[in-house]
Amino acid sequence: MATIVVEVDDALMEAAARRAESEHTTLEAVVARFVAEYAAGAAVPSEDPMAVIRRMQSYVNTGNGPFNREELNER
């Protein structure tokens, strides 16, 4: 395995490490996934759709659904 050395702002590094921890992973694993996807030709590294949904559930409240037709069409 190769080692990558990157210089980033301390606050940015801490924020990234906190996010990785909240996603039950490590910053090293996030960077490794990015490099693998980048090498495979991905234009923008993808993220597991369920991980996005779980993260959004922590700050988005959609009510207690399911919604009826009128509620879905409210403006």
Q: How much is the pLDDT for 45?
A: 61
pTM exceeding the 0.75 threshold for the entire prediction = no
- Written as one string, the DSSP assignment of 39-75 is HTT-SS----HHHHHHHHHTT----S----HHHHT--
pLDDT of residue 56: 78
Q: What is the pLDDT along the chain (75 residues), one digit of tens a residue?
A: 888 898 999 999 999 999 999 989 999 999 998 888 888 887 666 777 888 777 777 777 767 767 788 888 886
pLDDT for the residue 17:
93
pLDDT of residue 27: 93
